[in-house]
Amino acid sequence: MEVVLSEKCFGEYLNLIHELTGITIAKNRTSMIEGRLRKRVSTLKLSSYEDYLRLVKQDRSEQISFIDLITTNETYFFRTPRIWDYLETKFLPKWIAEHPKQVFTAWSAAASSGEEAHSLGILCQSFKDKHPNFLYQIVGTDISAEMIGLCQSGAYSGRSIESFRKTRTPLFDRFMRLSDSEEFRVSSEIKSRLRFLQHNLFRPLPTQDRFDLVLLRNVLIYFTAKDQETVLSLVEPRLAENGVLIIGESESLTHIRTQFKPIEPFVYNSKNASSSMNKAG
Ligand SMILES: C[S@@+](CC[C@H](N)C(=O)[O-])C[C@H]1O[C@@H](n2cnc3c(N)ncnc32)[C@H](O)[C@@H]1O
């Protein structure tokens, strides 16, 4: 007998997804959700989507698998080249001139499988060539436990490294080590400056860190305007003085109420910050 996802049950899944992750899924995405749930329902040998819904509601460990299943984790190294050019040519040179003795801190706040945090690590390590005293620490977080596992393992292959390898070959050859067949790992000098933890953006970060740079890219699109405001209100106090927030290229803060103001395409700083970083470049 074919298992069918009824409209009522689909509606309950949407509510549960929102409750657990803040993600709002459009009502016309039934087939996408059904596709993602079908395999799990079959693996667990359940007879209906209703049974799986009941299980997820009751069982905390199944909620972890459900979140892994529901989130969209597409990412790759050096996604949106203009952002990395901005960081390399404007932001970091200005930052080091203003903070010669400090440790640069950054947060990749929807890290997925870690390509973004590792790209930043590579950029920082190469920046260190010109500025040997430059020190950096990068934190990567994501709501998906499976993704945090991938971040920690740090092994990459296929599409995720394809464009990096082609377009930034000297950096790739220098910092990526072939580990196993087609898998590459970021060199250990970089790895030691990265740490990853599971975190839901709708909760306060469980550490006291404040960051010079927050990458919050390609995640706001999954939230309503009101939920975006909630997330940004939790991120803003985590920016260091003159810290910068970068969002994804298909995202905008124009129509929502936040403490952030634009300083470059996709780059923002806090209205509470002093003005020196506004003049970057
Ligand atoms: C499309 S990926 C973006 C990855 C990377 N930032 C980039 O731009 O390439 C979106 C990530 O956001 C994560 N995510 C979704 N909702 C979240 C939440 N409430 N808290 C933390 N991470 C969340 C997903 O698990 C997914 O890995």
Residues 6+ apart with CB under 8 A from 268: 244, 245, 246, 247, 253, 260, 261, 262
74 lines ligand 1 (CB under 6 A): yes
Closest C-alpha residue for ligand 1 atom 26: 73
pLDDT digits (tens, 9 = 90+) for 234-254: 999 999 999 999 999 999 999
Query: How much is the pLDDT for 118?
Result: 98
Task: Say if residues 193 and 108 touch (Cβ distance below 8 Å).
Answer: no
In the reported structure, the alpha carbon of residue 111 is separated from the centroid of ligand 1 by a whole-number distance in angstroms of: 6
Give the DSSP letter of residue 46.
Answer: -
> What is the location of CATH 3.40.50.150 in the chain?
81-279
125 lines ligand 1 (CB under 6 A): no
In the reported structure, the alpha carbon of residue 206 is separated from the centroid of ligand 1 by a whole-number distance in angstroms of: 18
Q: Mean per-residue pLDDT for 22-36?
A: 93
In the reported structure, the alpha carbon of residue 1 is separated from the centroid of ligand 1 by a whole-number distance in angstroms of: 36
SS (H, E, C) 244-274: EEEECCCCCCCCCCCCEEEEECCEEEECCCC
Residues 6+ apart with CB under 8 A from 216: 109, 110, 201, 231, 232, 235, 245, 246, 247
Tell me: pLDDT of 84 over 60.
yes
In the reported structure, the alpha carbon of residue 116 is separated from the centroid of ligand 1 by a whole-number distance in angstroms of: 11
Query: How much is the pLDDT for 1?
Result: 55
For residues 194-210, one letter each, b for 16 or more C-beta atoms within 10 angstroms of the residue's C-beta and e for the rest, the string is: bebebbebeeebeeeee
> What is the location of CATH 1.10.155.10 in the chain?
7-70
pLDDT digits (tens, 9 = 90+) for 50-83: 999 999 999 999 999 999 999 999 999 999 999 9
In the reported structure, the alpha carbon of residue 131 is separated from the centroid of ligand 1 by a whole-number distance in angstroms of: 32
Phi, psi of 208 (to 5 degrees): -90, 5
- CA 59 to centroid of chain Cα atoms: 26
Please state, for a pLDDT cut of 90, what percent of the chain lies above it.
90
201 lines ligand 1 (CB under 6 A): yes
User: Which residue(s) pair with 264 in the sheet?
Assistant: 267
Residue 182 — very low, low, confident or very high, per pLDDT cuts 50/70/90? confident
Q: How far apart are CA 107 and CA 123, in angstroms?
A: 14
- How high does pLDDT run on average in the chain? 94
Query: How much is the pLDDT for 276?
Result: 46
- Give the number of the atom of ligand 1 that is nearest the alpha carbon of residue 115: 9
Query: How much is the pLDDT for 180?
Result: 79
In the reported structure, the alpha carbon of residue 243 is separated from the centroid of ligand 1 by a whole-number distance in angstroms of: 21
73 lines ligand 1 (CB under 6 A): yes
Q: Mean per-residue pLDDT for 185-212?
A: 96
pTM score of the predicted model: 0.95
Fold of 7-70: Chemotaxis Receptor Methyltransferase Cher; domain 1 (1.10.155)
- Give how far Cα 25 sits from Cα of 10, 74, 208, Å: 11, 17, 32
- Give the number of the atom of ligand 1 that is nearest the alpha carbon of residue 76: 9
pLDDT digits (tens, 9 = 90+) for 110-159: 999 999 999 999 999 999 999 999 999 999 999 999 999 999 999 999 99
83 lines ligand 1 (CB under 6 A): no
* Domain 81-279 is found in CATH 3.40.50.150: yes
Residue 3 — very low, low, confident or very high, per pLDDT cuts 50/70/90? confident
